[in-house]
Amino acid sequence: MQQKIWKVLNEDNSKPILDKILQNRGISELEKESYLNPDFKKHQHSPFLMQNMEKAVKRIVEAIQSKQHILIFGDYDADGVTATTLLFDFFKEAGAETSYLLPHRMIDGYGITPEGVRKAQDKGANLIITVDNGISAFDAVVEANSLGIDVIITDHHKQNGDLPPAFAVINPNQKTCKYPFKGISGVGVAYKLAQAVGSEIWFPEKLEKFLRWNLDLVAMGTVADISPMVDENRVFVHFGLKVISQSKREGVRALLKITGEISENVDTATIGFKLGPRLNAAGRLEAADRALELLLTKSPQEALKIANELNEINSKRQTFTTKGLAAAELKVNLEDKMLIVCSEDWHPGVIGLIAGKLTEKYSKPSLVLTYKKEEKKYAGSGRSIESFDITNAFSQFEKLLISYGGHKQAAGLSVSRENLKEFRVKLLEFANETITLEELQPVVFIDTFIEPKDAILETFDKLKEIGPFGEGNSFPIFGMRDLLVINVRNVGLESQHIKISLRKDNRYFDCIGFGLGGNFENLRYGSFVDIAFHLDENRWNGKNNLQLRLVDIKIKE
């Protein structure tokens, strides 16, 4: 197991713990009050700051008033599904003629395509609005234009080439957009569109009610898409978690029920590890429509039925991922600075998860490819480290690719069998030349070191004020030195985790270390260790006890 470097962000012991963490997050004393108490209205940006928003709103209002058919073309992941649900509900409430289409990952591939446009025409679409896709859909928009169908693209992915010739493109990440926050998710952009259109057709009270009660969708899509938990996203998720805890959506209630979550304990981890994976599972292995139907249904019985289906699909997804990861680990070359592995038979729906786990384990960018026999091409999914822009890396060799797109640390591509070898060689050369050994060294950023007297449930509760936590605002990591090992054991099906009891200053700490099972052989009663950890709460039999969730452990000589 690769040794991790510990970097302490704040060693000023004159300040309270909360202030040190806020300072680490770049929050000044002047910003502290507004940061800890987000305001729903004051801390959002005007949707009309997005380029082309006014033009899009005018076209949509015209479509609503003249009873033109508006078709929402979504995506198969949680971000796309929640965005589709939000706009579908919005247009229904606005009295519009509306329907939706979601692509099938294995049959249709990603995003809107010329064939998808023809399906929209068959449904009678006069106006297509994409959500969470479309920024690269040049051919699809040309097809729509030839059929007399207007297209409004709403997306948040990076613009790589020329923009499609759509009626309007709304995307804060198109090169000429001046919108002040670039980290918004696909469902966030859809929400801003609803906010803008709603301001033209509804009284303010009705619009605010819609916007507030649909923040459950925005929170789920934003967290599941690993969007940065800063700026506007922080407002969406802060209030969205409150909506989830009292959601009027039968589907959300059903998901909470089958995952055993108590509504008042809902946080970003609930979305990231419970709700999000189940919404994503349908689109990964089967059709995303079931996840969408779950969010739209008004029937408690139907919601519970679909939630259980998604739970089963998610279990299947976990099995595929585990088997795929085991096979991928046999193929990786750890001498390379980027891990690239191919297979003829990995399920396309889990290659991104396999890539994520490889990057997490080895602290290297990774690309996992599988062959799609029906399309005679390889589909690839990449994940990256902080310093390496994987979408930019793909762009260096775009002439060898059929398509590509994504974000700095997560991207997808498709490549022909004929070009795979050359692309693989050139990408690996590029990674080996541009990534330094220092960038591959895994680092644990410790917010501050604390003493046993500070490791208490009261501190854990106080930390919640800094949330919601996620990408860009991670849950605080603390350090503690010189703890005595009292007991240690392996847990997990393959002994990949450890449970350990530690003592310092007559305080005993129960600790869990997920993925740290490799340390077991070197840990013995009487050893002394330094630990990096999250404060956590273990709920059992109606009691709440403090638990330390280990991030890393160093055995003292």
Q: Which pLDDT does position 495 carry in this prediction? A: 76
Angstrom CA distances, 348 to 13, 137, 144, 353, stand at 50, 21, 28, 10
Average pLDDT over residues 534-542: 82
Res. 271: pLDDT tops 90: yes
What does pLDDT average to over the chain? 93
Mean pLDDT of 154-178: 94
Percent of the chain whose pLDDT exceeds 70: 99
Strand 366-372 relative to strand 339-343, pairing: parallel
Identify the H or E element spanning 524: none
Would you mind telling me the total number of residues written for the chain in this entry? 557
How many CA atoms does the CB half-sphere of 549 hold within 13 Å?
A: 12
Is residue 2 scored above 70 in pLDDT?
no
Contacts with 327 (C-beta within 8 Å, 6 or more apart), sequence order: 343, 346
pLDDT in tens, 412-462: 999 999 999 999 999 999 999 999 999 999 999 999 999 999 999 999 999
Cα 169 to Cα 76, 81, 110, 132, 176, distances in angstroms: 20, 20, 18, 12, 11
- Please compute the mean of the pLDDT values over residues 290-302 and round it to a whole number: 96
CATH number for region 47-310: 3.90.1640.30
Question: 242 pLDDT exceeds 70?
Answer: yes
CA–CA dist 427, 421 (Å, integer): 10
Q: What is the CATH number of domain 332-440?
A: 3.10.310.30
Q: Which pLDDT band, with edges at 50, 70 and 90, does 556 fall under?
A: confident
* Of the candidates 519, 518, 499, the residue with the CA atom closest to the CA atom of residue 510: 499
Print burial letters for 296-321: b (CB count within 10 Å at least 16), e (below 16). bbeeeebbbebbebbbebbebbeebb
At the topology level of CATH, where does 444-555 sit? Answer: OB fold (Dihydrolipoamide Acetyltransferase, E2P) (2.40.50)
Query: Percent of the chain scored above 90 by pLDDT?
Result: 79
Residue 518 pLDDT > 90: no
Whether a cis peptide bond, with omega within 30° of 0, leads into 468 is yes
Question: With 80 as the cut, is the pLDDT of residue 493 above it?
Answer: no
The arithmetic mean of pLDDT across residues 119-124, rounded, is: 97
pLDDT tens digits, one per residue of 175-209: 999 999 999 999 999 999 999 999 999 999 999 99
pLDDT above 90 for 110: no
Backbone angles phi and psi of 480, in degrees to 5: -145, 140
Average pLDDT on 301-325 reads: 94
With bands split at pLDDT 50, 70 and 90, how would you rate the model's confidence at 345? confident
Residue 390 has pLDDT above 60, yes or no: yes
Q: Is the pLDDT score of 99 beyond 70?
A: yes
Residue 494 has pLDDT above 80, yes or no: no
For range 211-216, the mean pLDDT:
97
pLDDT at 1: 54
**Residue ranges covered by each domain of the chain:** 47-310, 332-440, 444-555
Report pLDDT for 51. 98
* DSSP codes of every residue in 251-295: HHHHHHHHTT--GGG--HHHIIIIIHHHHHHHHHHS-THHHHHHH
Mean pLDDT of 164-174: 97
Q: What is the rounded distance in angstroms from the CA atom of residue 131 to the CA atom of residue 119?
A: 16
